[in-house]
Amino acid sequence: MYKRVLVPLDGSEIGESIMPFILQIAGPLDMTVVLVRVLEPPPPMAVEGTRYFVPGDLAELQRDAEDYLAAVAAGLRARGVDVTWETRVGRPDTEILAAARSAGADLIAMSTHGRSGVGRLLFGSVAEQVLRQADVPVFLIRERGAVPAVLRAGAGGRRPRG
Amino acid sequence: MSDFGVRTLVFPTDFSECSYHAGRTAAAIAGHFGARLHVLHVDPPVTAPAEPKQLAAAVADLGAGLGIVTATVAGIPARQICAYAGRVSADLIVMGTHGRTGISRAVLGSVSEAVVRSAACPVMTIPAAAPAWVPAPLVEPVLESQCVVCAVHSPDLICEDCRAIIRGEALEHTRSAERPRRVGLLR
């Protein structure tokens, strides 16, 4: 029986499409859910017209991610799911696998953006990288037809801080 | 939020060691959810088709008590697996991964990756190294039970004698609790 399931979230709606699985499979089977959000350090930005660079604000991203994970965790906890969460900084696939190992997860459940063609070549697929390297079973949900938040008109990629 | 249940499960097999491994997990999941298990073999183009008894043997390994459907189709594995899953409106595909990397992956490709990319339903990939999913055994009722109060042998949680004592004590308690109130009302 799977005991601990690692659920990587990227803050997008597509990432959250794994939630029905968690609520209806992981919850009833008494799995402990470990939420993880991997932050990629933002690149330094040049200040226009000067020679100065401003380092990316990782602390801000970290706060956002923590707020986000705490909110998701509270939602799951309210439905009786045993849940913990953590944030990590680095490359998504390596950090997800490292998180799975350090949490002792025996299952990774995540959703995939299901990019193909040019999109896949450009952005790669974190889910595929995880699936290839994981030594535990990987449960993948492909969100079909979902429009990534960054592409939706009038909606920012970031969710408001709550 | 859509409902997620497992009623129909597709397990594609290439009769390899790692798909044998995935099959055990697939059977355990099907058993757990009472789902119908479709065992599918895809004969890839060019190669000689698999013998029917291979599929029968693979099914026999999965254990009894499951609703199992077998099917063999010919074509490009990933495409046929997705098409089959669509036809039977599968809720989940459980498959093994060889975990190929580097050149062999570039040349041979990864069926599971291609399935993940185009399947309409969730896909669960089982690496060859992963332990098989074994459902927790049902807790059997203990036949030889003891009274929890006096530890005397009894089929009930609390034996007859102890129950009487408890009942008596409870009655005594309610009576003593009620008495002063009644007196108060009479006055």
Residue A87 inside a domain? The answer is: no
Spell out the domain ranges in chain B: 8-127, 143-187
Please report, for the domain that includes residue A41, its CATH number. Answer: 3.40.50.620
pLDDT of the residue at A103: 92
* Minimum-distance CB partner of B130 among A128, A133, A136: A136
Residue A160 domain flag? no
Both tokens of residue A132?
Answer: 């290839």
- Domain residues for the domain of A39 are 4-82+105-134
Q: What is the structure's pLDDT at A160?
A: 45
Residue A84 to chain B, least CA–CA distance (Å): 22
Phi, psi of A76 (to 5 degrees): -70, -40
Q: What is the pLDDT of residue A101?
A: 92
pLDDT at B107: 57
Query: Average pLDDT of A42-69?
Result: 81
Query: B81 pLDDT band (50/70/90 cuts)?
Result: very high
| Cβ <8 Å between B124 and A139 | yes
Quickly tell me which residue has 């009479």 as its tokens. Answer: B186
Q: CB-side exposure of B165: number of CA atoms within 13 Å?
A: 7
Owner of token pair 């993940």: B116
Q: Indicate the pLDDT class of residue A153, thresholds 50, 70 and 90.
A: very low
> In angstroms, rounded to a whole number, what is the distance separating the alpha carbons of residues A30 and B9?
22
Q: Which of A21, A25, A138 sits opposite B125 (nearest CB)?
A: A138
Residue B112: name the closest of B85, B132, B73 by CA. B85
Structure tokens at B163: 């129950």
ipTM of this predicted complex? 0.71
List the one residue out of A20, A17, A22 whose CA is nearest residue A6: A22
CA distance A57 to chain B (A): 34
Are residues B127 and A133 in contact, defined by beta-carbon separation less than 8 angstroms?
Answer: no
Q: What is the pLDDT of residues B106-119, one digit of tens each?
A: 555 578 888 888 88
Q: CA-to-CA distance for B72 and B50, rounded, in angstroms? A: 9
Distance of residue B166 Cα from the nearest chain A Cα, in angstroms: 35
Confidence of residue A152 (pLDDT cuts 50, 70, 90): very low
Specify which residues A49 forms β-bridges with. Answer: none
Residue A85 has pLDDT above 90, yes or no: yes
pLDDT, residue A8, reads 92
Six-digit token string for A39: 């932050």
Of residues A55, A66, A138, the one with CA closest to residue A96: A138
Task: Write the pLDDT tens digit of every residue in A2-29.
Answer: 789 999 998 887 788 888 878 877 767 7
| Percentage, residues of chain B above pLDDT 90 | 14
Residues of chain B with a CB closer than 8 angstroms to some CB in chain A: 1-6, 25, 97, 99, 101, 105, 110, 112-113, 116-120, 122-127, 129-131, 133-136
A94 inside domain: no
CB A40 within 8 A of CB A10: no
**Has residue A49 been placed in a domain?**
yes
Chain B residues with CB inside 8 Å of A116's CB?
A: 117-118
Residue A142 lies inside a defined structural domain of this protein: no
Q: Is the pLDDT of residue B1 over 50?
A: no
* Superfamily grouping for domain B8-127: HUPs (3.40.50.620)
Q: Is the pLDDT of residue B187 over 80?
A: no
B110-147, pLDDT tens digit by residue? 788 888 888 888 899 888 766 555 555 555 544 567 77
Confidence of residue A121 (pLDDT cuts 50, 70, 90): low
A131 has pLDDT over 80 = yes
Q: How does strand A107-112 pair with strand A53-54?
A: unpaired
- CA separation for the pair B48, B54 (Å, rounded): 13
Q: Is residue A161 part of a domain?
A: no
Q: How many domains does chain A have?
A: 1
Q: Is A153 or A108 the better-scoring residue by pLDDT?
A: A108
Mean pLDDT for B14-28 is 84
Contact A110, A12 (CB under 8 A): no
Q: Give how far B156 is from chain A: nearest CA, Å.
A: 29
**Quick one: residue A141, left, alpha or beta (phi over 0 = left, psi -120 to 50 = alpha)?**
beta
What pLDDT was estimated at residue B4? 62
Residue A162 pLDDT: 40
Maximum CA pair distance of chain A? 60
Distance of alpha carbon A151 from the chain centroid: 18
Q: Is pTM, for the whole model, over 0.90?
A: no
Render pLDDT for B42-76 as a digit per residue (tens, 0 to 9): 888 877 777 778 888 888 878 767 888 889 999 88
- Whether residue A111 is contained in a domain is answered as yes
Q: Which of A101, A121, A142 should we substitute to test contact with B (largest number of B Cβ atoms within 10 Å)?
A: A142
Question: Could you tell me if residue A121 is inside a domain?
Answer: yes
Q: Which residues contact A96 (CB under 8 A, 6 or more apart)?
A: A6, A8, A36, A38, A108, A110, A126, A130
Q: Say what percent of chain B tops pLDDT 70.
A: 73
- The residues of A whose Cβ lies within 8 A of any Cβ of B are 1-2, 19-21, 23-25, 106, 112, 114, 116, 120, 125, 127-128, 131-142, 144
Chain B, nearest residue to A128 by Cα: B113
SS (H, E, C) B112-144: HHHHHHHCCCCEEEEECCCCCCCCCCCCCCCCC
Task: Please tell me the predicted confidence (pLDDT) of residue A66.
Answer: 92
Chain position carrying tokens 């004698």:
B161
